[in-house]
Structure 1
Amino acid sequence: MLICVTDRRLCPAEDFLPRIERLAAAKPYAVMLREKDLDPPAYARLARQVKDICDRHGVLLIGHQNPTVAEQMAITHLQLPLPALRAYRRRGPLLIGASVHSAAEAEEAQSLGAAYLVAGHIFATDSKKGVPPKGLPFLRQICQAVNLPVYAIGGISASNAPAVLECGAAGFCVLSAAMTCPDPAAFVRAFDRLR
């Protein structure tokens, strides 16, 4: 299952919402609105626009780092870094995903009530320049350490995605390619063929 992760700074401002529209129309599993530089009011404004697009196409919207915004907008899924999950006090029916970087973190996130995990980075990626990737053995270790769906992130492409699935991952999160590919629909379709 493909989760398209956003970073509007990677594409021209006028292309961001049309790009989300084209991605959502091609039906990935979800769009994760990961705009870490925005304060809560600005994030909420953008989230409303992206949620309208996702709702129109029947695609899940995953919020990021903003529990209050997610609760106010009835977003059902929220991605948190592990330190934020440790501090989070559940106030509603949100399904929380956690970002993890070791088996110990994966086990902790599971014990804290995470519903799914995002693990990485698996392959070399421009968004983590100079940081060595953790690789497929790491991903396999995470998948074996928990009884949760694990989504791999970092340098995932349609060509290396089968190896990710062979490690036991439920799917993949793709940021840079989702934001920069010339044809968003073809990008999503390339992952669809892996189902």
Structure 2
Amino acid sequence: MNELIRGLYAIADTHLLPHQDLGNAVALALLGGASLIQYRDKSQEEKRRYQEAKSLQQICRQHQVPLIINDDTLLAAEIGADGVHLGRDDLAPSSARQILGADAIIGVSCYNELARAIAAEQAGADYVAFGRFFPSRTKPEAIQASLELLREARKKLKLPIVAIGGITTENAPQVIEAGANAVAIIGGLFKSQDIRATAAAYQQQFLSQHLPAPHSF
């Protein structure tokens, strides 16, 4: 599992991406080397959400890359997605695990809270996410996290760490050096002029950096 959570974690947010462009945009990110894809849609349009998630799942499977569903454990179960990402108001990791099974990838947003990350690890999460680390156009109001938090988390956690929030190809080395195993990118990737090239540029940051490896289990 540790090796799956590494590199560019591309978040396809339908708030930013026109629905008709969603599949093509994700395919370009995968061609650029994205390691994981997350489908993020906050609407209540269940039929469209199912269709989009199912379509993205097919694209991801062609590239042998996991598809993670944001928030909605039941949708993840319904389409047989590879996992779910949970926020503060979502199911507990243990409950999501009961629904999705032992092989599912379960991630937890931990904002700037190391204690929440430690609890998520103890509850069976597969990775935790901290952020935002830099000013973000996508979520400008998001809680600020520090590079020192990443360093401390890397010392105390065994599971992979994802950094999110305002991360560019220029500042990505800072979070990688501080302990991030992956960077989650939304607008910085999908609002770029060349999604494939931008994805490759993010992935290159991991190839050129000495990656902090999570502790072995």
Task: Give the TM-score normalised by structure 1.
Answer: 0.90
Alignment of 1:114-125 (within 5 A): 114-125=125-136
Task: Indicate the RMSD between aligned Cα atoms, in angstroms.
Answer: 1.9
Q: How far, CA to CA, are the matches of 2:148 and 2:15 in structure 1?
A: 32
Q: How far, CA to CA, are the matches of 1:51 and 1:95 in structure 2?
A: 14
Residue identity in the other structure for 1:190: A
Q: Which moved more, 1:6-15 or 1:29-38?
A: 6-15
Matched, 1:111 2:145: no
2:105 maps to which residue?
95
What is the aligned counterpart of 2:18 among 12, 35, 51? 12
SS in 2 for 1:142: helix
How many residues are matched?
Answer: 195
SS in 1 for 2:15: helix
Give % identity. 26
What is the aligned counterpart of 2:52 among 19, 41, 46? 46
Question: How big is the shift at 1:131?
Answer: 5.0
> 1:17-71: per-residue Cα shift (whole Å, max 9, x none)?
2211211222210111111224444322110111111112222211121212212
> 1:100-124: per-residue Cα shift (whole Å, max 9, x none)?
0211111111121111111111111
1:58 maps to which residue?
64
Residue identity in the other structure for 1:115: D
Alignment of 1:126-137 (within 5 A): 126-131=137-142, 133-137=144-148
Question: How big is the shift at 1:87?
Answer: 7.3
User: Which protein has the bigger helix share?
Assistant: 1
Question: How big is the shift at 1:143?
Answer: 2.5
Q: Which moved more, 1:4-13 or 1:169-178?
A: 4-13
Q: How far, CA to CA, are the matches of 1:61 and 1:71 in structure 2?
A: 12
Q: How far, CA to CA, are the matches of 1:9 and 1:82 in structure 2?
A: 20
Task: Give the TM-score normalised by structure 2.
Answer: 0.82
Aligned in 2, Cα 1:66/1:41: closer, same or farther, shift over 3 Å?
farther
> 1:65-105: per-residue Cα shift (whole Å, max 9, x none)?
12122123221221111442427521322221101021111
Residue identity in the other structure for 2:83: H
Question: How big is the shift at 1:184?
Answer: 0.7
SS in 1 for 2:92: helix
What is the aligned counterpart of 2:31 among 6, 25, 35? 25
Gaps of 5+ in 1: none
Q: Which moved more, 1:6-15 or 1:153-162?
A: 6-15
Aligned in 2, Cα 1:132/1:48: closer, same or farther, shift over 3 Å?
closer
Q: How far, CA to CA, are the matches of 1:68 and 1:134 in structure 2?
A: 30
Residue identity in the other structure for 2:106: I
Residue identity in the other structure for 2:22: F
